[in-house]
Structure 1
């Protein structure tokens, strides 16, 4: 008997995951190419976050690991342990994957895929997969810009950083790793008026704003000073001479809402830092305001983390 399949939809710009329309099964893939100690943790967390922030239930995670010929067994054990840590923290089963030693890479390359599902029909259960903002809606950011990269840099370049900053200050930045999971704030926002959600990761907050605008098909105007950022991030970025707004920012979410202040208040009431940073607007201009200076947002560039971690 011939099986008939419905046409499946691929991932759209700014959605970060694809889905099967006949089964409402979704997937999101996240590669980690930065030479970071906890790369497996961040690859898995990013893949899970991409599913969760769309209102989809994660089902399992698989991981592909490409190792260079000089890699030792201990390196693989560390990667797998980090992947398991991320899955345990998010409450998502780790379903294994693929490991290969190849001359095609000169250091480990980790790719995590999270598969999720939405039960019932699209009318019965709302997801944010097809949700997008529109002109006039406020833009809200939860947590802080550069959160993920700050944790990576603080751990991997610890000895360099403590030559300038007190060790307790850098220790605090290392613990930012504990805040990159976005499950709780996504759940709060979905009940508090968020109309679209986008996770900030590769390319940082600036890239996420560009993608949010592109997905909405309109422009935006954002106050740079309103974008939340931790002092640890500012100091570490000054040390390495990198832009904090173009750094991996996993752990931060961008929302659009008709009432941005109400959404931000709802997040803050749950202990989740949040701020209204601007608005989507008619036209195509993507404007960043910094005090009296106004400039246009550039297309996403290579993430600044690679200037330090390769």
Structure 2
């Protein structure tokens, strides 16, 4: 396609026609010349906004973009309502690529009961692969809004599902040929399939209704980064048993293959939660079919301690560059 705004005929054919799911809160839907959307707000509700780009993946970017933003909203206790899209395409992109991307995004949105509210599409030479930025809009009762700084000393630290899911899926999808030199096709397919776990909306709504103090989706920097951020925001310390942090074996193997630390690997699909009755919350999650584990406690000092085994403990360090960026995706 030519550099510049996507032509109106392509916009109608390959973008607007792919947007089918609607919500009653939305008063103005996407259309030519519509730069804004309008949503109805009830007196006792607030809207929560979040935005995220997807730049570290070449595959499933539409799915990741929607879920990562929906996860951010859910972390605040909000039900995701809609998304605004900004799609930047390289000149080598075809209309079929845009249409396929929109279908992928619409499918992810429909799964989550989210409407595409509008956005912008453009072809530009400043990118060499599609870049999708999603701004999400969610709603929540005013008295149910949750903040990252809500963790309190003495509370349990709960992690949902398994850490490293997103990073494992991204790497397995991009490095399938390389991984097949050591692992079976079934192993690689399982690792790629971790994208199915990417949403944390269900566990976030369960935790919100259970009554928790803070939630934080585990993204760049992995679980170590998330632990630091929640503790720092709340002005508390923590003690975590490394062996209790849930990991899939495929994540362990993929990280060993590329010499990565799984605890510092991007982990959308896993939620970090602070609450008073962590084991009760884990039971409630299990009843909903969601894996969870209590991995430690927040403490009344600034020490952030990770227990490796009976003989070794280490102090947690501030978040570092995500391990995902150590993998050379350009060579493929």
| TM-score range relative to shorter protein | 0.7 to 0.9
State the shift of 1:130 in Å. Answer: 6.9
The answer to whether the 8 A contact 1:286-1:297 is kept is yes
The answer to whether the 8 A contact 2:237-2:302 is kept is yes
TM-score of the pair, normalised by structure 1: 0.86
Name the counterpart of 2:186: 168
Q: Which of residues 75, 86, 101 is equivalent to 1:79?
A: 101
Q: Which of residues 55, 60, 70 is equivalent to 1:48?
A: 70
Q: Which of residues 194, 208, 213 is equivalent to 1:190?
A: 208
State the shift of 1:255 in Å. Answer: 0.7
TM-score of the pair, normalised by structure 2: 0.81
The answer to whether the 8 A contact 2:239-2:305 is kept is yes
Alpha-carbon separation, structure 1, partners of 2:61 and 2:86: 12
Name the counterpart of 2:4: none
What is the Cα-based RMSD across aligned positions, in Å? 2.0
Name the counterpart of 1:127: 145
Q: Which of residues 310, 323, 330 is equivalent to 1:304?
A: 323
The answer to whether the 8 A contact 2:239-2:299 is kept is yes
The answer to whether the 8 A contact 1:192-1:262 is kept is no
Say how many residue pairs are matched.
286
| Bigger radius of gyration | 2
Write the deviation string for residues 111-140 of structure 1: whole angstroms up to 9, x where unpaired.
111112235xx3xx4221476111111100
Q: Which of residues 53, 68, 74 is equivalent to 2:90?
A: 68
The answer to whether the 8 A contact 1:32-1:110 is kept is yes
Name the counterpart of 1:259: 277
Name the counterpart of 1:179: 197
Provide structure 2 residue ranges, at least 5 long, that are not aligned to the other structure. 1-42
Describe the SS at the equivalent of 2:70.
helix
The answer to whether the 8 A contact 2:239-2:296 is kept is yes
Alpha-carbon separation, structure 2, partners of 1:193 and 1:25: 20
Provide structure 1 residue ranges, at least 5 long, that are not aligned to the other structure. 1-20
